[in-house]
Amino acid sequence: MTNRNDFISRERFMAELMRYRKGSVTRRHFLGVTGLGAATAVLGSAMPGLRSAAWAQGNIGDRVVLATWPNYHDPANFEAFKAATGAAVDMNVFGSNEEMLAKLQAGGSGWDVFVPTNYTITTYVGEDLIEPLDMARIPNYDPASFNERFAGPGTVDGKVYAVSKNWGTTGFAVNTSQLGGKPKPTTWKEFWDLTQAEFSGRTMVHDYQLTTIGNALKYYGYSFNSIDANELAEAEKLLMAAKPHLFAISSDYQPSMRSGDAWMTICWTGDGKQMNRDMPEIEYVLGKEGGELWSDFYAIPKGAPHMDAAYALINFLLDPAVNAKEALFHGYPTADKRVDALLPPEVLNDPILYPAAELLDALEFGAAVTLTDPNRAELMARFKSA
């Protein structure tokens, strides 16, 4: 209540408004002298994602179609995006990268933004299904602040096709209250053995060849990415033996885990975090033998119908403040230092989000070949139809 010098009197405001309307001062002068410009700037910065946004003036349409993964966004951020731009986010959820690729290969997906995983991007580039990004339209993406290990796969042959969304691990979640005093399983071997014994009828696996076959391969200590015919045959034997004991084959496992129908599931970082947050007895485990380390990206498919809205949405979601809210909601870490700076220490020290180095070292990134390898694809299809 002390310094009122920066306020403008009612009379002076009206006088300036008249001058502006008569055209004797510029809009810039009017906004400056009345403080409206500053007020707009303050409001704008309070509304993250609106700042320095080239599209803020333009009309980006009323809709943007996003193809993404289950439980991977804070709906409040989409509401904020709609309030700021008028474009509603129309979200499609997928269970595997194969499914995304199949939709794009068939054509006419209608997507504007999709969320591919690291190992798929070279295939999208090879098949000419992905748009090279105009980085000038994503000013919130600052390559220097991103961890190259996770952001790197977005660049193919020197061109940026995809910008880093989140990274994470694929482990398993287990409802420890159902273990009956037995120690918590810590390996993939125990995961599959438990499935065929005490947890019969209670385990879920992803409807996704990479993780389901990959973690069956881990039972024998083979590479998560193996395409060796003999190793795959062993993995198939395990999968077929386990199938009668499974509760379901689905990548949307949270409802069944939460209702208590399922007790154990192959699980991604954020789902593990979300379930553990609400039900501490559900714990997230990284198999000691290894498994998958992954990073996801935002990308624009060729022929996206709402290109402006696509860039606007990506830029909005990469605003560190928005991105931090996303991370707090879904429990997946980002590769952006600026986001980490906004996260509370208990998140940065969370062992689910940021596993111990020795556990991370055992993990592998998915390999591009697994996406297109016909034997892995057919093995998964056979396993499901058996």
Partner 1 sequence: MAPATIWLLAMLVLPLVVVLVFSFGERAAAGGYSAAVTLENFANLGARWTAFQNTLMLAPLGTVLCLLIAYPLAYYLAVKSDPKWRTLLLILVIVPFWTSILIRSYAWIFLLGGQGIPKLVSLIGYGSPRLINTPFAVLTGIVYGYLPLMVFPIYVSLERLDKRLLEASADLGSPPWRSFLQVTLPLSMPGVATGCMLVFILLMGEFLIPAMLGGGKVFFVGNALVDLFLQSRNWPFGAAVAVALVLIMLVTVTLYMRFTRRWAGGRDDVSLM
CB of 127 to partner 1, least distance (A): 6
Answer yes or no: are the C-beta atoms of 133 and 162 closer than 8 Å: yes
Question: Between 77 and 96, whose beta carbon lies closer to partner 1?
Answer: 96
**CB-based contacts of 13, cutoff 8 Å, min separation 6:** 34
Note whether 108 binds partner 1 by CB under 8 A.
Answer: no
Taking residues 68 to 107 in sequence order and writing x for each that binds partner 1 by CB under 8 A, - otherwise, the string is ----------------------------x-xx-xxx-xx-
Question: Between 227 and 377, whose beta carbon lies closer to partner 1?
Answer: 377
Nearest residue to 171 (alpha-carbon basis) of 119, 218, 209:
218
- SS3 state at 241: helix
CB of 124 to partner 1, least distance (A): 9
Number of residues that make up the chain: 386
Report the b/e string of 256-293 with b at 16+ CB within 10 A. Answer: bbeeeebbbbbbbbbbbbbbbeeeeebbbbbbbbbbbb
Note whether 277 binds partner 1 by CB under 8 A.
Answer: no
Return the half-sphere exposure (C-beta side, CA atoms, 13 A cut-off) of residue 334.
32
- Strand pairing category for 246-249 and 159-160: unpaired
Give me 152's structure tokens.
């790197």
Give me 156's structure tokens.
């193919």
Tell the burial category of 162 from Cβ atoms under 10 Å away from its Cβ (0-12, 13-18, 19+).
buried
Note whether 177 binds partner 1 by CB under 8 A.
Answer: no
Answer yes or no: are the C-beta atoms of 224 and 275 closer than 8 Å: no
Answer yes or no: are the C-beta atoms of 45 and 78 closer than 8 Å: no
Question: Between 217 and 246, whose beta carbon lies closer to partner 1?
Answer: 246
Question: Between 140 and 176, whose beta carbon lies closer to partner 1?
Answer: 176
Cα–Cα distance between 139 and 53 in angstroms, integer? 8
Nearest residue to 299 (alpha-carbon basis) of 164, 165, 162:
162
CB of 329 to partner 1, least distance (A): 23
Question: Between 165 and 206, whose beta carbon lies closer to partner 1?
Answer: 206
Nearest residue to 104 (alpha-carbon basis) of 87, 119, 89, 123:
123
Piece of 31-39, 66-74, 155-163, 367-375 that binds partner 1 (CB under 8 A): 367-375
Residues 117 to 136: which contact partner 1 by CB under 8 A? 123, 126-127
CB of 346 to partner 1, least distance (A): 32
Question: Between 149 and 382, whose beta carbon lies closer to partner 1?
Answer: 382
Cα–Cα distance between 68 and 66 in angstroms, integer? 6
Question: Between 174 and 380, whose beta carbon lies closer to partner 1?
Answer: 380
Note whether 240 binds partner 1 by CB under 8 A.
Answer: no
Residues 15 to 74: which contact partner 1 by CB under 8 A? none
Figure out which of the listed residues 234, 256, 302, 342 binds partner 1, where binding follows CB under 8 A.
256
Residue with tokens 């005490």: 198
CB of 103 to partner 1, least distance (A): 7
CB of 165 to partner 1, least distance (A): 23
Residue with tokens 């809210």: 325
CB of 123 to partner 1, least distance (A): 6
Cα three-residue angle 277-169-138, rounded to 5 degrees: 95
Question: Between 45 and 177, whose beta carbon lies closer to partner 1?
Answer: 177
Residues 306 to 365: which contact partner 1 by CB under 8 A? none
Figure out which of the listed residues 19, 82, 189, 243 binds partner 1, where binding follows CB under 8 A.
243
Residues 193 to 212: which contact partner 1 by CB under 8 A? 201, 207, 209
Figure out which of the listed residues 58, 86, 221, 260 binds partner 1, where binding follows CB under 8 A.
260
Question: Between 106 and 144, whose beta carbon lies closer to partner 1?
Answer: 106
Helix (H) or strand (E) run with residue 339 in it: helix 337-340
Return the half-sphere exposure (C-beta side, CA atoms, 13 A cut-off) of residue 364.
19
CB of 46 to partner 1, least distance (A): 38
CB of 286 to partner 1, least distance (A): 25
Binding site for partner 1 (CB under 8 A): 96, 98-99, 101-103, 105-106, 123, 126-127, 201, 207, 209, 243, 246-250, 255-256, 259-261, 371-372, 374, 377-378, 380-382, 384-386
